[in-house]
A and B are shown apart, each in its own frame.
Chain A
């Protein structure tokens, strides 16, 4: 690490005036308002033609909200497309040349917060980033921190073992550090805050990784250089590309992310400029302002809206912007990667957590002092989930209007539209609105294809134009089928969240695990039943509407087989062989991805429950674990937490005696965690079990020794 890391880092005051971007904001939002205005007008006219009613007013309001959200996406894509084609100069990577910036005095911490994750994979990523920086010759400026919040004894001990093996293998003692908290206070943001309180002052910058994310050394170095040359910037967010997907679902997500995301983010950057956002990982942060301004308060009230802020990232960006620090998207930087859940159920589980976090932001939308743009970021996040129940409400209100009319037995009287020169029948009028709506939804995809058309090099990275277009068609059809499934899921998440039902903090499964039949049935039977009943009702009362709604009914009805089939790696692989859904990282995998995959293939696992045996009996793991615990006493905060847990008290020694006598299986997880947190108890256990001091000793100890270490 840099020897300068301990020197005081000067905080450069940020500029007080926001950077000029009025035209961009005006152009962007005016375009969105124009689209909403035209479509809203046309829809209102259509409703007018068949007779106004209260339910039609509700329908119009819902329509305007939904179209507004879709229009923002469409305009983002247009702005992004133009930015990329004409190479917008107002990007963080273009405004100033940064390649020759020195890395002197830039101590940077790379943070890997983890929680019960697959330790082998986490360390495979760390090793890869380490070696990537080593190859570049810039390793000295970076320190690595594995910040564990793990509360599974087996995983905790495995993390320590693999960490130790890693630092020995890489000779990285004093470069790669491991720290585990005793409590999960504040979850991920609390974990980062704990790091900052202990070591934050040593580092000018820090980069946050997710358990599944990866960055190339070159990208990290570029980020530090960008921060150095832009002292007014508090945070730079990269745009991670999804990689390593193998299932059909995963590969479709990966393809969509890789093809469309750069355009959308370029569009977001077009109008947000230095008022961007933070997504929680793969971003570099200036330590001092973050420490000073981004310590998140607990929200008043009870869960799910009160308590710790779950989706902390948006709020942290908002707090930086509030204090005049800039936040940028570095969408032109490559070499930033992440993985995604590889089946619909995993994706829904993640969505449920995100939904809860985003809805909690409604508490902050009106917070005093936040910038208007931060409120927009928060609202867009909320709307990402709220639009599902709104869409559902729109469809149901429409069905209600139609069924009420059919049941009334009255004939439909259609009057002329109030829009001048709109000489269309009611059906033509409705079709025009439908076509325009589809247009704004699908236009971003067309722009992505257009971008490939004018960029031969990028085109080849997606397998050529024909295959890319075919892939877009597959993705579009699949998305259309999945959209109603997500609509019901998200609506359920929103409703349950509003009624105070929260979800627990569980690690996201990103591996390609095929969904079992019963698993799919238990999760998606309600979708199927709702789809069938809904289809039946509409078929019975309104045949015309039935055909319009058919894609929704199909999606819901086939949700179970769709979920199972799309989770099959074989299907994903088959499409890959056909050259479909290809991404640049699949065609030409970067060295770091190859390395991570090679290292991840060597998984280190213990049989369930073996961790505590090894922590006590394995002479090296026992010593390592005790030393790590002993070191915690040096930190007054941890020392206090240990005292609160009763570490060092006779009660833990009594537990230890029980552990020897009754064996680990007869102790609860909490009791095991307590023993594993007490260095003196562990030292005693190691000595006494090997020396057979305590009698009677539970037979499982001798059995474990016999099975693992006795030579026959």
Chain B
């Protein structure tokens, strides 16, 4: 099959399950949609490439869902491109490569300004390279950490009250005193 022209490969969909491959196509296309690739032609072209790569892989992965294979191929295509545009060595496995790549895409506004260069193998315009590689998200400037500690406040007579409040039965005794005062006040008011 690998000798066949790519436009004919579709005739030999492994498993002959069109629905499964249709679902795979939808998943890849959905991810491109999520990435903000709105240009239909570009999106369809990339989706098709991912599906073609998946079809080739499917021969060696019997029993694996086409959706999984296609999504993996899409992921691999993205990671290959991210490592190139971010100038990251392909020899090292960086579990955060996809995260960095997606963030760079957002910061450089690839879905808006540079959509035509998405997954483009290069060379890229210098402005694009700068925008992608210099984008770094920061929640704050460099830390200048201080360790302040609250100064204790002498609360004066109130602190004695808080100490009393912690004594056993203090609340009970206070309650009785308050009740006695209330009775006294009522007595005085009524006599």
Contacts and interface: CB of A to CB of B under 8 A. Distances in A.
Contacts of B75: 687, 690-691
Nearest to A626: B99
Interface in A307-329: 319
B50 to A, nearest CB: 12
Interface string A545-571: 000000000000000000000000000
B148 A623 contact: no
Interface in A154-180: 164, 168, 173-174, 177-179
Interface string A596-613: 000000000000000000
B155 A364 contact: yes
Given A366-B155, A620-B106, A683-B96, A709 B31 contact: yes
A631 interface: yes
Contact of A368 (B36, B103, B154): B154
Contacts of B67: 692
A65 to B, nearest CB: 17
Given A173-B107, A197-B145, A199-B143, A624 B157 contact: no
B141 A178 contact: no
B141 A199 contact: yes
Contacts of A710: 26, 29-30, 33
A420 interface: no
Contact of B35 (A300, A369, A619): A619
Given A683-B96, A690-B71, A363 B158 contact: yes
A55 B189 CA distance: 6
A711 B33 contact: yes
Contacts, number: 181
Contact of B102 (A143, A623, A693, A709): A623
Contacts of B189: 54-55, 400, 404
B40 to A, nearest CB: 9
A299 to B, nearest CB: 8
Given A306-B162, A364-B153, A145 B140 contact: yes
Contact of A168 (B33, B107, B143, B165): B107
B185 to A, nearest CB: 8
Interface string A173-210: 11001110000000000000100111111100000000
B140 A199 contact: yes
B63 interface: no
Given A197-B147, A683-B95, A692-B27, A709 B155 contact: no
B144 A623 contact: no
A27 interface: no
Nearest to B156: A366
Contacts of A173: 107, 135, 137-138
Interface stretch (A290-298, A437-445, A468-476, A670-678): A290-298
Contact of B103 (A145, A295, A620, A637): A620
B141 A174 contact: yes
Nearest to B155: A367
Interface string B104-145: 011101000000000000000000000000010111111111
A686 B151 CA distance: 46
Contacts of B103: 620, 623-624, 627
Contacts of B143: 198-199, 634-635
B150 A296 contact: yes
Given A363-B155, A692-B65, A692-B71, A628 B33 contact: no
A626 B96 CA distance: 9
Contacts of A693: 68
A64 interface: no
Contacts of A152: none
Most chain B beta-carbon contacts within 10 A, residue among A617, A619, A680: A619
A291 B145 CA distance: 12
A246 interface: no
B57 interface: no
B166 interface: yes
Nearest to A708: B34
A177 B34 contact: no
A293 B150 CA distance: 8
B144 A202 contact: yes
A244 interface: no
Interface string A690-712: 11110000000000011011110
Contacts of B140: 145, 177, 179, 198-199
A691 B162 contact: no
Contact of A200 (B36, B144, B151): B144
A1 interface: yes
Contacts of A586: none
Given A683-B95, A692-B71, A709 B162 contact: no
A55 B188 CA distance: 8
A13 interface: no
Contacts of B11: none
B179 to A, nearest CB: 15
Contact of A369 (B141, B154, B165): B154
B152 to A, nearest CB: 6
Contact of A177 (B96, B138, B157): B138
B107 A366 contact: no
A369 B166 CA distance: 25
A623 B99 contact: yes
14 contacts: A5-B141, A173-B137, A174-B141, A300-B162, A301-B165, A368-B154, A404-B189, A620-B35, A624-B137, A626-B99, A634-B143, A635-B145, A691-B75, A711-B30
Closest 3 pairs (CB-CB, A-B): A366-B156, A623-B102, A709-B30
